Structure 1
Amino acid sequence: MKLTILGGGGFRVPLVYGALLTDHAEGRVTDVVLHDLDAGRLDAVTRVLAEQAAGVPDAPAVSATTNLDAALRGADFVFSAIRVGGLEGRANDERVALAEGVLGQETVGAGGIAYGLRTVPVAVDIAQRVARLAPDAWVINFTNPAGLVTEAMSRHLGDRVIGICDSPVGLGRRIARVLGGDPNQAWIDYVGLNHLGWVRGLHIAGRDELPRLLADPGLLGSFEEGKLFGADWLQSLGAIPNEYLHYYYFNRETVRAYQQAEKTRGAFLRDQQAHFYEQMRDPGAGALATWDRTRAEREATYMAENRESAGAGERDADDLSGGYEKVALALMRAIARDERATLILNVRNRTTLSVLDTEAVIEVPCLVDAGGAHPVTVAPLPDHATGLVCAVKAVEREVLSAAESGSRTTAEKAFALHPLVDSVNVARRLVEGYTQVHPGLAYLK
C-alpha cells in the first residue's frame, strides 16, 4: 500500500514511520511518499527515517516530493499533517491574542480560530485534489484544529476523511492504569468535540470503574488530569475532562501564566525546531539521535504553563511517548485488513449526539472496519457540557462560512461568539491584528 504524508517535512513524521516499522503483516504500507513545500525539511526528515529503517529488512520505501499532485496519485491512505503558516504563524497566533488578554492556543479560543481561518482553504483544496486524483484513498487528518479541519474536508470527501487525536486515548490509558486495568481492554465512554470532551465512564470487564476513581481523592490526584484540574473539581463534574478543557475551566489563570512565560509554546517550538533543522544541514550530524533529543524536550514541556498555573509539577514519564501515530496505524489496519477495532476518532455525527446535526464532526468512540469508522451510540451530555459543545460548534461553523465566503464580518462573528473571547470589540481587534501578521488571511474582505 502507498501512504502519502502531507507535511512530510514535519517534526513528528518519524513517529509515524516508527509505527510503520513495527508492522510486518500482509497488507502493510510498503511505500511512503513525503510531501512538503520545504525541500530542506524534507531532506532532514528523510535522513531521520533512513536511520530508523537501518536493519529493518522490510522497511517501507521512502520518497519525497514538493509536487502535491504527484504525491497524491495512487495513494491508498493520505495523512494530512500540514501547518499553514508554520510555527512562526503559531507564535503570531499566540502573541496577537495575548496582547488582547485572551487565549492564543493553537486549537482553543482566538488562536484556534485564526489557525482555522488560514488552514481551512488549504485543507479544502487538498480534499478536492484527493477526490480527483485518489478517489479511493482514505484521508486521516492530523491537521489542527482537527475537528474543524476534518469537517471542512468531509464536505468534499464524506466519510472517507477521519480525524485523529491522541489526547482522548492518552486520557483513557492514564485512567485505566490508575484503576489497575489493562488500557487495551478498557471501554472508554468519551464524547465531545476535538479538545473538548469528557470521559464519563471507563469499563473494565463490563464494570464501570470511574465511580471508584471519582470517590478517591488520592487516586484522582495521582495522574495528569487530577493534578491539573484538582480532585474537588473532577468530583463536582462527575467526569474526567480532556486536558484542553483546562483552558476553559481555569482560563484566567492560564492566560496569566502564558502572559508571564518567557516564551509562548509556539515561540518555543519555532526556535527549538529551527535549531533542529539547522543541525540537519550538517551531513555528519546523527539525524535520529538529534531528533530524539529534540523530541524529548518537546514532550517534557507540553502544556507547561497550564501545569505551572495549577501547581501540577512535571509530566509523568509514561506521558512522554506520544501516541497519535499508534492510533493512525490501528486505524489503517482496521480499514485495510478489515481488522475490527474500537478507536476514539473525529467523524461525522450522524445521529450520535441529538443536539448537533448529522454533518457535524464530533469526537467519540467508533467501531472501525473496512467500511470506515462508525460512531457508537452514546448517552446525552449533561447541560453544562452540551452548552459548551454547541457554542464551540457554532463558532466552527462561522469559521467555515468565513473561509468559504471570504467575509471579514463573519470572521469577526466567529471570534465574538467564542466563550473565551469576552467582547465584540476584542473580536474586531483580533481580526485586525491577525490579518496584519498573516498573509494567508488576505482573502478576508
Structure 2
Amino acid sequence: MQLTILGGGGFRVPLVYGALLGDRGAGRVTRVVLHDPDTARLAAVTRVLAEQAAGVPDAPEVTATTDVDEALRGADFVFSAIRVGGAEGRAEDERVALAEGVLGQETVGAGGIAYGLRTVPVAVDIARRVARLAPEAWVINFTNPAGLVTEAMSRHLGDRVIGICDSPVGLGRRVARVLGADPERAWIDYVGLNHLGWVRGLRVAGRDELPRLLDDPVLLGSFEEGRLFGAEWLRSLGAVPNEYLHYYYFNRETVRAYREAEQTRGAFLRDQQARFYAQAGDPSVSALAAWQRTRAERESTYMAENREAAGAGEREPEDLSGGYEKVALALMRAVARNERTTLILNVRNRATLAALDAEAVIEVPCLVDASGAHPVAADPLPGHATGLVCAVKAVEREVLATAASGARAQAVKAFALHPLVDSVAVARRLVDAYTAVHPGLSYLR
C-alpha cells in the first residue's frame, strides 16, 4: 500500500513514518512517497527517516520527488501537510496582525484568514489532481487551517477527504486521565469546528464523569486546560474548551502576551527549523538526533504565550508526545482493513449540527470503517457556542468564496466578519499589508 505525503520535507513527517514502522499488520503501508518543492528539506527528512528505519525489518520504502503528479500516481492514501509560504509566511502572518493589535495565530483570527487565503487555491489544485490521478485514494488532510482546507477539498473529493487534528485527541486524553478513566474505553462528547470545539461529556460505562471533574477544583487545577481557562470559567461553561478557544475567551491578554514576547511563535519556529535543516544536511551529524532535540524544544514551548498569560505553568510530560500521527495511522487502518473505530475527525456535517448546512466541515466523533468516516449524532450546542461556530464558519465561507473569485472586497469582508477583528478599517489595512508581503495573495484584485 502506498502513502504519499505532500509536504514531505516538513518537520513532523518523521512522526508519521515512526508510526508506520510500528505497524506490522496485513495491508500495512509498504511504500512512502515524499513530495516537496524544496529539495534540501526533502533530503534532510529522508536522512531522518533512513536513520529511523535502520535495523527495522521490512521498513516501508521511501522515495522522494518534487513532481506532485508523480507523487500522486499509485497512491492509496494521500497525507496533505503543506505550508504555503513556509515558516517565513507564518512569521509574517503574526507580525502583520500584531502590528494592528489583533491576533496573528496561524489558524485563528487574522493570521488564520491570511493563511487560508493563500492555502485554499493550492489545496483545491491538489484535490483536482487527486481526483484525476488517484481517484480511489483517500486524502487525510492535516494542512492548516484544517477544517477550512478540508472543506475546500471536499468540494472536489466529497467524503474521500478527511481532516485530522491532534488537539481534540490530546484534550480528551487529558480529561480522561485526570478522571482515572481509560481514554480507549471512554466516549468523548466533543463537538465544534477545528480549533473551536468543546468536550461536553466523558462517558464511562454509560455514566458521564465530566460533572465530577467540574465540581472538583483540585482535579480542574491538575491539567493544562483547567489551569489555562480557570476552574470558575470551566464551571460556567459546563464544558472543557479546546485550548485554541483561549484566543477567544482571553483575547486581550493573549494579544498583549504575544506583543510583549521576545519572538513570536512563527519566528521562533522559522529560526529553529532553519537550524535543524542546516544540521540535518551535514553528513557528519546524526539527522535523527538533531530532529529529536529540535522536536523536544518545539513541543515544550507550544502555546507558551497563552500559558504565560494564564499563569498555567509548563506543559505536562505526557503532553509532549504528539498524537496526530496516531490518529492518521488509526484512520488508515480503519479504512484499509475495515478495523472499525471511533475518532474525532473533520468531516462534512450532513445532519449532525442543525445550525450548519450539510456541506459544512465540522469536528466531531466519527465511526470509521472501510466506507469512510461517519459523524455521530450530537446534541445541539448551547447558544453561546452555536453563535461562535456559526460566525467562524461564515468567515470560512467568505475565504472559500474569495479564493474562487479573487475579489479583494470579499477578502476584506472575511477579515471584518471575524469575531477577533474589531474594525472594518483594520480589515482593509490587514488585506493591504498581507498582499504586500505574500506572493500567494497576488490573485486578489
| 1:85 and 1:438 in contact (8 A); partners too | yes
d(CA) in 1 for partners of 2:442, 2:288: 39
d(CA) in 1 for partners of 2:48, 2:443: 37
d(CA) in 1 for partners of 2:305, 2:237: 23
Count how many residue pairs are aligned between Structure 1 and Structure 2.
Answer: 445
Counterpart check, 1:351 vs 2:351: yes
d(CA) in 2 for partners of 1:81, 1:442: 23
Q: Which whole-Å deviations, capped at 9, do the CAs of 1:303-342 have from their partners, x for residues lacking one?
A: 0000000000100000000000000000000000000000
In structure 2, the partner of 1:384 is 384
In structure 2, the partner of 1:231 is 231
Report the residue type matching 2:67 in the other structure. N
Q: Secondary structure at the match of 1:63?
A: strand
Q: Which whole-Å deviations, capped at 9, do the CAs of 1:172-199 have from their partners, x for residues lacking one?
A: 0000000001111110000000000000
Q: Secondary structure at the match of 2:378?
A: coil
Deviation at 1:66, TM superposition (A): 0.3
In structure 1, the partner of 2:84 is 84
Q: Which whole-Å deviations, capped at 9, do the CAs of 1:98-135 have from their partners, x for residues lacking one?
A: 00000000000000000000000000000000000000
d(CA) in 2 for partners of 1:426, 1:204: 47
d(CA) in 2 for partners of 1:83, 1:164: 16
Q: Secondary structure at the match of 2:140?
A: strand
Q: Which whole-Å deviations, capped at 9, do the CAs of 1:342-376 have from their partners, x for residues lacking one?
A: 00000000000000000000000000000000000
Counterpart check, 1:277 vs 2:269: no
Within-5 A mapping of 1:33-432 = 33-432=33-432
Percent of pairs identical after alignment? 84
d(CA) in 2 for partners of 1:394, 1:142: 21
Q: Secondary structure at the match of 1:55?
A: coil
d(CA) in 1 for partners of 2:197, 2:92: 27
d(CA) in 1 for partners of 2:179, 2:134: 44
Q: Which stretches in structure 2 are left out of the alignment for 5+ residues?
A: none
| 1:24 and 1:58 in contact (8 A); partners too | no
RMSD between aligned residues = 0.4
Taking structure 2 as the reference length, the TM-score comes to 1.00
Q: Secondary structure at the match of 1:345?
A: strand
| 1:181 and 1:204 in contact (8 A); partners too | yes
Report the residue type matching 2:271 in the other structure. D
Report the residue type matching 2:311 in the other structure. G
Q: Secondary structure at the match of 1:185?
A: coil
Q: Secondary structure at the match of 1:362?
A: strand
| 1:120 and 1:400 in contact (8 A); partners too | yes
d(CA) in 2 for partners of 1:42, 1:284: 18
Deviation at 1:58, TM superposition (A): 1.4
Q: Secondary structure at the match of 1:143?
A: coil
Taking structure 1 as the reference length, the TM-score comes to 1.00
Q: Which stretches in structure 1 are left out of the alignment for 5+ residues?
A: none
Deviation at 1:270, TM superposition (A): 0.1
d(CA) in 1 for partners of 2:333, 2:192: 25
Report the residue type matching 1:87 in the other structure. A
d(CA) in 1 for partners of 2:199, 2:152: 26
Q: Secondary structure at the match of 2:78?
A: strand
